[in-house]
Amino acid sequence: MPTLNDFYTEQGQAIWLDFISRDILQSGVLQGLVDQGLRGVTSNPTIFDQAISKSDDYDADIARMSRDDVTPFAVYDTLSQADIQAATDVLRPVFDASGGSDGFVSIEVDPDLAYESARTVAEAKRLWAAIDRPNLMIKVPATPEGVQAIRQLIASGINVNATLMFSLQHYDDVAFAYIEGLEQWVAGGGDASTVNSVASFFVSRIDGVVDKELAARGNGDLQGKIAIANAKLAYARFEEVFSGARWDRLAAVGARVQRPLWASTSTKNPAYPDTLYVDSLLGPHTVNTLPMPTLEAAVEQSVLTRTIDENVEGERVRIDSLASFGIDFNQVTEDLQSAGVASFAKSYHNLLETIAARMKSVRPVA
């Protein structure tokens, strides 16, 4: 049975937790996971909605803030920043021991800004300054406007988790935004070694859509295989982009590669193994961010064998073969990104509605 640390020491993959709540912070659960080898935490509006709506851990703070004339957003902003600061402090020893290459905690910019570059940059800079931790990452979606923001944020020395990536084009856009941003940062006198980024490539949602299309066409052979094939091709592209003369110039002044991060790695189809999107994507310079049930399953079941670059050409054939079934894979990935933006925005607004209702229910009687 592997430990969380074994994933890193044996395969070079950092395991992050795709969840945050006040309970796991105050109970010591997060610290216990870090002691076992957890190397980071990710969050998003859906996660904060779950954390706040399904517990009363935040009620005292909500009641206190409800005495003042504050908005639900202001309450969320205060609560989320406090949780992220607490989590970054728990992960800080990992950050220090790794020389600043790991131990990160991510917070997402307002998803309503996904198609607005300038406002995304302004909001990311606000969060960066307010949370004020070197092991913070700001999550920015890989929309065309988001990619522009990512470039500007990296050029400003801000760590970025580029999220909602589904296609190789998304990957290329983000990877080169990182490189271009680093080049600007270094040209302006910045220290390349202080800037970090991950490229969050979503996995299981691909199979969730493509499997249905394949089933409708009577094909069972490719079901459960396209998401993994897509991720492996992204890793192959990672190895190409972060090599050669252009990257070597940055590496020579301390730049770190932008690691691929496998997101959406819990299996949605109960017919698939719990660790399908863990065991099939093991390899160096990668991150896998797992919800708690998948993390627990990985520790119990995973066999730590390098798989990330197995049969890459065969995976390319699988992706290319989708066209013969009338499946436009590029359109699938664009639709998934749009749906992801909409889903996070919906969760964000649900969260604000939850907080507004909670403010009314816990507000002290005058």
Phi then psi dihedrals of residue 175, to 5 deg: -60, -45
* Beta strands 13-17 and 104-108, pairing class: unpaired
Return d(Cα 295, Cα 274) in angstroms, integer. 10
CB 362 within 8 A of CB 132: no
Return d(Cα 54, Cα 48) in angstroms, integer. 10
Residues in contact with 28: Cβ distance below 8 Å, sequence separation at least 6, in sequence order: none
Return d(Cα 231, Cα 283) in angstroms, integer. 12
Q: How many CB atoms lie within 10 A of CB 246?
A: 13
Catalytic residue among 139, 232, 346, 360: 139
Considering only CA atoms, which of 229, 248, 234, 249 is closest in space to residue 314? 229
DSSP 198-211: EEEEE-HHHHHHHH
232 is catalytic: no
Return d(Cα 55, Cα 365) in angstroms, integer. 22
Return d(Cα 202, Cα 333) in angstroms, integer. 10
Residues annotated catalytic, as ranges:
139
